[in-house]
Homo-oligomer: A and B are copies of this chain.
């Protein structure tokens, strides 16, 4: 027989906890059975605390009836592995030039290390996760990406090696896994009809997958709070924007630098049929839950006009 000491304080806390759970109810109800793609990237992939936050958030989404699908990138880890193996990373227009050796390293790091780590973390918190490269079940059919650069005022094709772009997403395998309540964790590798693998841009691939499986939302985990009027002033965060607004902001130079390809990936996802794309900061604890389950959200939501 155990007795318990109940103080008034304790009672209040408990009730508060329950209230918080209940506050999530309308959101849980609203997003029931819907697919949500989470593009996992940036700082949150290397910080142990952030890894745990995000894994817990994703597992919770699954348990409360949503169907999360994780797509991850891998930038810094690939560079680290290349250096270890004595290769120097090289980029053109933000795309990694990928020779055969580099592709091997990309595959090993993305699929062999990062993907497995995410799967382990999700498993640790009770989720049934399945790691997939784009090769499994012909998931991502890709082709070589033709890239042009402007050189002496002329548009010239450059060879990026084994860099590809998505031709078609074969959703059968994802659908089977989701139906059986698994969480697919996808590495951005594509394959062509001859069995050749290609390195893909994870942001774009996440949007292609989100569109193909009919996801409601695409959550982009980044290292910034969202789109801000002044990048140094968090109070200037835009909560909600439309495609034409962000396009105007790019034109006007408000959105610049590394945020531009991110925004282009968001627009790609919206064009593929996703209802809203959310740029959130992976450094904020549980930012995924906060974005989905609170009224005001935490980052920038972009929608169609």
Chain A interface residues (CB < 8 Å from chain B):
1-6, 11, 14-26, 28-29, 32, 56-57, 59-60, 63-65, 81, 84-85, 104, 107-113, 115-116, 119-121, 123-126, 128-133, 135-138, 172-173, 176-177, 180, 182, 189, 191, 194-195, 197, 229, 234-241, 245, 284-286, 289-290, 293-294, 296, 298
Contact = CB atoms under 8 A, between A and B. Distances in A.
How many copies of this chain sit in the oligomeric assembly? 6
B3 A63 contact: no
A59 B109 CA distance: 28
Given A6-B235, A111-B115, 19 more contacts: A1-B239, A3-B235, A4-B235, A4-B239, A18-B290, A19-B286, A20-B21, A21-B24, A21-B286, A28-B63, A63-B64, A84-B85, A108-B108, A111-B131, A112-B112, A116-B135, A121-B195, A131-B136, A173-B182
Contacts of A189: 116
18 contacts: A1-B238, A3-B237, A4-B239, A17-B294, A21-B286, A21-B289, A22-B289, A25-B59, A25-B63, A28-B63, A29-B63, A104-B113, A108-B113, A116-B135, A128-B137, A129-B136, A173-B182, A176-B180
A135 B123 contact: yes
A167 to B, nearest CB: 14
B57 A173 contact: no
A18 B289 contact: yes
A136 B104 CA distance: 22
Nearest to A226: B4
A237 to B, nearest CB: 6
Contact of A197 (B120, B173, B236): B120
Contacts of A19: 285-286
A108 B119 contact: no
A229 B126 contact: no
Contacts of A177: 176
